[in-house]
């Protein structure tokens, strides 16, 4: 777990990397503008450049052909000549002898650097070396350890360093195998002259497959030995005296490699037309192209990327084999040509801190997201509770008058009547109807009728006790549930409501509307249901209406009292 100090350091590193990246983008833009300007100035005076390849023409050098034929070198003001290897020619020797300006060589260049040869690595094109050991698949060698006491063909000098390291990783030394003379033809393996052959993953497997020869491959990377392949080199003097040329050549070369890996078929056709000194078939070159691109890793790391830690590990292997004569100052040996390469190198070396920072940021974002979700859930739950409560209230309230509606009246009255039954108490129900309400609608309109209903409701609410329930249960019909009230209390309430309403003048649109109420009440009798109680009050109301309106009817004694 990261402590407080480590957490702060990790976050600062993340911020510094972001700032460095933005600076890198700006630097790249400025460099591009400068490159375009330089190319335009130098177009008429191209600089001569000679490049020593490490082998004869094939897809292995596709990026150089692309840069030459697509005009990338010309755009940079360079006149480039590519030189194949001739018998006895060593690329590094050609470079240090001044015969060429740049050379393509293996990681064995470290050995030269360890004895003071001032060579500098500019770009590693192959992120993984294509060098492999091959055996016959039909033989009895199924593992590297089976090569003990067998014949093994290895390239001379430092070129076999990674294969020797692979054998050592498998528990074998050179003394455990029989070394046979190096032969560039895979026929030595096919004809049984050797049990293991040093080949290239990009080349020999194609010939064996076409000949129907069963074989197996042992790659150093599978044994933890991971060398670069085909690195571009120059000299310290060249960088010191002509740094612009070095940077321009490197940038144009990488541009050529970018084109080559994106257009392999076009470059294969170019090789067949102008660079096929080995007479390879198109199928063979396409096989080499596919294998090469997998080793270049263009979609994983920037083309030409070099990591100082990998070079240091390669130096360790050379030292273990007794090949390195002294320490190598990697910062002098490696030459990141621009801020972006330096930035990538820093990113790689700080990958653990960056990983921790990324995990931390993701964790914080996840926590914040979860907290946000919880807040949203709580807020939504509260909204739903309010909406539910509002819906329940609306379902129990008459929208026009604000009084409880029929449903609420019967629910409340049902609870009250059950309580009365248990406690042997009194309870009465009143029902009221506005007299001649239809005439109000016919005379003044339904809007006026709604206004009258609201005003009548206000009168009813003002005149009932706190424990009573006044509800609108129909168009112009109202009901009252009066718990703990006998017939006399119900009759008194009925008279009060009738008299209040008879004296109430309702103003509407310049007119005064007078309305009266007819009421009926009934007292609960033991054993009655709520429906029966309400039916009795309804019957009393109808009796009152038949007796001339503005009247009170009682179900107890059938007495009808007409208002004076």
The HSE-up count of residue 419 (CA atoms within 13 Å, CB side) is 11
Same domain, 367 and 425: no
What confidence tens digit (pLDDT) does each residue in 509-553 have? 888 899 999 999 999 998 889 999 999 999 999 998 888 889 999
Q: Which residues contact 62 (CB under 8 A, 6 or more apart)?
A: 257, 260, 261, 264, 267, 271, 289, 292
Nearest to 102 by CA among 111, 92, 110, 112: 92
Domain count, the chain: 4
Residue 504 and residue 88: Cα distance in Å, rounded? 126
- Looking at 283, 318, 349, the residue that finishes a domain is 349
Rounded to two decimals, the pTM is 0.56
Average pLDDT over residues 220-238: 93
- Kindly give, in sequence order, each residue whose CB lies less than 8 Å from that of residue 53, ignoring residues fewer than 6 positions away: 61, 64, 82, 83, 84, 85, 91, 104
> How large is the average pLDDT for residues 270-289?
96
Q: How many DSSP H helices and E strands does the chain contain?
A: 21, 18
pLDDT at 219 over 90: yes
3-state secondary structure 344-394: HHHHHHCHHHHHHHHHHHHHHHHHHHHHHHHHHHHHHHHHHHHHHHHHHHH
Q: Which residue range forms the structural domain that includes residue 529?
A: 396-562
Q: Which residue has the tokens 């321009």?
A: 248
- With 0-12 / 13-18 / 19 or more C-beta atoms within 10 angstroms meaning exposed / middle / buried, residue 199 is buried
Whether residues 11 and 138 fall in one domain: no
Is the pLDDT reported for residue 556 higher than 80?
Answer: no
Active site residue 476: yes
Q: What's 404's domain CATH number? A: 3.30.70.270
- 152 and 168 in a single domain? The answer is yes
pLDDT for position 561: 44
Residues 44, 26: one domain? yes
Over 80: is that where the pLDDT of 88 sits?
Answer: no
The model's pLDDT over 192-214, given as tens digits with 9 standing for 90+, comes to: 899 999 999 999 999 999 999 99
What was the pLDDT predicted at 185? 85
Q: Cβ(405)–Cβ(396) under 8 Å?
A: yes
Paired strand residues for 85: none
Higher pLDDT, 34 or 249: 249
The answer to whether residues 327 and 197 belong to one domain is no
Range from 264-268, 326-330, 467-471 that averages highest in pLDDT: 264-268
Of the residues 157, 187, 222, the one at which a domain ends: 222
Question: Over the stretch 461-494, which tens digit does the pLDDT of each residue have?
Answer: 888 888 889 999 888 999 999 998 888 999 999 9
**Exposed / middle / buried, residue 374 (Cβ in 10 Å: 0-12, 13-18, 19+):** exposed
Long-range contacts made by residues 29-33, C-beta under 8 angstroms, separation at least 24? 31/338
Residues 413 and 492 in one domain: yes
Does residue 326 surpass a pLDDT of 60?
yes
**Is the domain of 109 the same as that of 80?**
yes
d(CA 256, CA 311): 25
Is there a single domain that holds both residue 527 and residue 434? yes
| 382 and 451 part of one domain | no
Confirm if 231 and 311 have CB atoms less than 8 A apart: no
Mean pLDDT of 204-232: 92
Compute CA 248 distance to the chain's CA centroid, rounded to the nearest angstrom.
38
Mean pLDDT of 263-287: 96
In which element (H, E) is residue 440 found?
helix 437-444
96 plus 237 within the same structural domain: yes
Query: Radius of gyration of the chain from Cα atoms?
Result: 50
Whether 230 and 83 map to the same domain: the answer is: yes
Model pLDDT, residue 1: 44
Q: Which of the following is catalytic: 106, 226, 398, 476? A: 476
How confident is the model at residue 338, as a pLDDT? 46
Same domain, 93 and 241: yes
Q: What is the pLDDT of residue 34?
A: 54
Domain boundary residue, one of 313, 329, 349: 349
Distance CA 153, CA 188 (A): 9
CATH of residue 334's domain is: 3.40.190.10
Total length of the chain: 564
3-class SS at 49? strand
- How high does pLDDT run on average in the chain? 86
């Amino acid at each position: 777990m990261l402590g407080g100090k480590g957490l702060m350091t990790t976050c600062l590193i993340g911020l510094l990397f972001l700032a460095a990246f933005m600076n890198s983008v700006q630097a790249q833009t400025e460099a591009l503008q400068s490159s375009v300007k330089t190319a335009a100035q130098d177009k008429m005076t191209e600089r001569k450049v000679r490049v020593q390849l490490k082998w004869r023409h094939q897809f292995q050098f596709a990026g150089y052909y692309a840069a030459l034929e697509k005009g990338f070198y010309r755009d940079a003001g360079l006149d480039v000549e590519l030189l194949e290897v001739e018998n006895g020619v060593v690329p590094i020797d050609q470079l240090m002898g001044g015969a060429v300006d740049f050379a393509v060589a293996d990681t064995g260049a470290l050995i030269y650097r360890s004895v003071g040869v001032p060579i500098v690595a500019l770009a590693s094109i192959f992120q993984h070396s294509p060098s492999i050991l091959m055996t016959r698949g039909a033989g009895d060698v199924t593992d590297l350890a089976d090569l003990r006491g067998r014949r093994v063909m290895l390239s001379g000098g430092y070129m076999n360093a990674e294969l020797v390291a692979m054998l050592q990783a498998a528990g074998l030394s050179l003394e455990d195998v029989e070394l046979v003379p190096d032969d560039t033809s895979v026929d030595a393996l096919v004809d049984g002259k050797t049990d293991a052959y040093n080949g290239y993953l990009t080349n020999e497997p194609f010939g064996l497959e076409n000949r129907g020869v069963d074989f197996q491959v042992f790659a150093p990377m599978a044994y933890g030995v991971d060398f670069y392949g085909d690195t571009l080199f120059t000299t310290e003097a060249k960088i010191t005296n002509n740094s612009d040329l070095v940077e321009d050549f490197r940038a144009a070369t990488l541009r050529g490699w970018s084109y080559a890996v994106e257009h392999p078929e076009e470059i294969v056709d170019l090789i067949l037309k102008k660079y096929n000194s080995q007479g390879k078939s198109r199928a063979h070159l396409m096989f080499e192209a596919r294998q090469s691109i997998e080793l270049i890793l263009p979609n994983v790391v920037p083309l030409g990327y070099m990591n100082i830690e990998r070079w240091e590990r390669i130096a360790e292997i050379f030292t273990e084999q007794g090949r390195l004569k002294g320490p190598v100052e990697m910062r002098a040996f490696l030459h990141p040509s621009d801020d972006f390469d330096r930035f990538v190198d820093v990113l790689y070396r700080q990958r653990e801190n960056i990983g921790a920072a990324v995990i931390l940021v993701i964790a914080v974002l996840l926590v914040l997201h979860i907290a946000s979700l919880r807040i949203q859930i709580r807020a939504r739950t509260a909204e739903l509770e309010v909406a539910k409560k509002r819906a329940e209230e609306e379902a129990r309230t008459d929208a026009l008058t604000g009084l409880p509606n029929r449903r609420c009246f019967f629910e409340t009255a049902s609870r009250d009547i059950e309580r009365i039954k248990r406690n042997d108490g009194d309870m009465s129900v009143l029902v009221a109807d506005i007299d001649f309400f239809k005439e109000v609608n016919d005379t003044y309109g339904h809007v006026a009728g709604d206004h009258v209903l609201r005003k009548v409701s206000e009168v009813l609410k003002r005149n009932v006790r706190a424990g009573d329930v006044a509800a609108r249960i129909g168009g112009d019909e109202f009901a009252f549930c009066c718990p703990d009230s006998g017939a006399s209390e119900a009759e008194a309430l009925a008279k009060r409501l009738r008299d209040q309403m008879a004296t109430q003048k309702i103003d509407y649109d310049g007119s005064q509307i007078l309305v009266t109420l007819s009421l009926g009440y009934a007292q609960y009798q033991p054993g009655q249901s709520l429906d029966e109680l309400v039916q009795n009050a309804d019957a009393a109301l109808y009796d009152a209406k038949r007796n001339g309106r503005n009247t009170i009817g009682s179900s107890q004694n059938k007495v009808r009292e007409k208002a004076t």
